[in-house]
Amino acid sequence: MSRELSQQQAAERVTLIGAILDFVLGIAKIVVGILSHSSALVVDGIHSLSDLVTDGMVVVVLRISHQEPDEDHPWGHGRFETVGTVVLGCALIAVAGAMAYESIKLLFTDTQPLTPEWPALVIAALSIASKEWIFHYTMRVGKAIKSDLVIANAWHSRTDALSSIVVLIGVAGAMMGVWWLDALAALVVSVIVGKIGWEMTWDSIKELVDTALPEERIAAYHDVVMQVEGILNVHSFKSRKMAGQSQLEMHIQVSPTLSASEGHYIGDTAICRLQEAFEDVGHVIFHIDTYDDETEQVCKTLPLRGEVEREIHAGLSQIAPDLAAPMRLVLHYNDGIDAELFFASDSLLNPTLASELKAAMNHPVWLENVSIWISNDGQH
């Protein structure tokens, strides 16, 4: 079983358990609230039943967000989880607003509500205990699988526990004759719920607009990359977060004398080191540089291989027309071009061939150095 599938199943399982609990508590609160003359408990029961909608939304979004990348979503479906977290955060803000509105109305009303009976206290206490348990259970799963959506749903469960505390205080206060205590407690809790919803929504919005990760996190990534042998520098570090994972882009500078395959292998090694050191590191894009293109001009006017080969062949034909063409030509690009020519071991080479070749080519400004090599022993 893949890691993504097991995480999805764990998230769906805890959400399903929460949905069943919401249904049972919702029905119990409404029935007991009506029989015990507690309008607060009835409203709290409706609130619990409304959570079934958000629980269903969480399951749907989790299934979508864990799908593999496809043609329309090459970066995967993780953003759906972020969008779901925004919706859930907005739902918390809406619940908080409704609770605050009703609490303020109740504080300034001239009509004293009916006195509730003790069964309402029992159901409210059971609701607090059960919703607090599901909060900790869901939070533990959400942190384990690094799912902001599951964590947001855990906080949604915590709001149910808080609202049940309000009911408990309100019912107890009303039974003791302090009827306004219910409204005051509900107003305080609504502010807390609204703050939780706003923080979740704002964090998810920052993720949707690709806000960079904190500087200290980037510094930690940078330190791990620089420990890889062969890396001279790392720059142009870009970062963002998607569905609990860090996505990175960076330029890795290596020696210009390395082969392309060695430079790429060094980059692959850096990614492996990052993912071993940080569990949250997901997709990483790296670009291999042989110079620091952060401070140097990227669009240079140096010729490409075809033009360089034509220039070299033209120069060789002038100074050594009988010499066979080089077996291999290696070009090193920096501010200019260093050319290495490899000839067969039986070639008769003039010791001054490199300088004569450069002179025959009229010392082009882009040609910094020419090296001539014999292929069998690597000697000049």
CA dihedral in degrees (126, 56, 149, 75; nearest 10)? 170
**Per-residue pLDDT at 54:** 67
Q: Residue 108 has what DSSP assignment?
A: T
Fold of the 215-289 domain: Alpha-Beta Plaits (3.30.70)
Fold of the 305-374 domain: Alpha-Beta Plaits (3.30.70)
**Per-residue pLDDT at 15:** 79
Of the candidates 231, 237, 232, 199, the one whose C-alpha atom is nearest the C-alpha of residue 215 is: 237
Domain residue ranges of the chain, discontinuous segments joined by +: 3-208, 215-289, 305-374
Contact 138, 150 (CB under 8 A): yes
CA 54/CA 250 separation, integer angstroms:
38
**Per-residue pLDDT at 378:** 45
- What's the CATH number of domain 3-208, 1.10.8.60, 3.90.45.10, 3.40.1190.10, 1.20.1510.10? 1.20.1510.10
**Per-residue pLDDT at 43:** 67
pLDDT along the chain (380 residues), means of 10: 62 81 85 78 70 69 68 70 79 79 75 70 86 88 78 78 78 76 69 77 81 86 92 88 80 87 92 87 87 66 90 88 82 86 79 87 88 67
E-strand stretches of the chain: 233-242, 245-253, 281-289, 328-333, 337-343, 367-374
Q: Do domains 215-289 and 305-374 have the same CATH topology?
A: yes
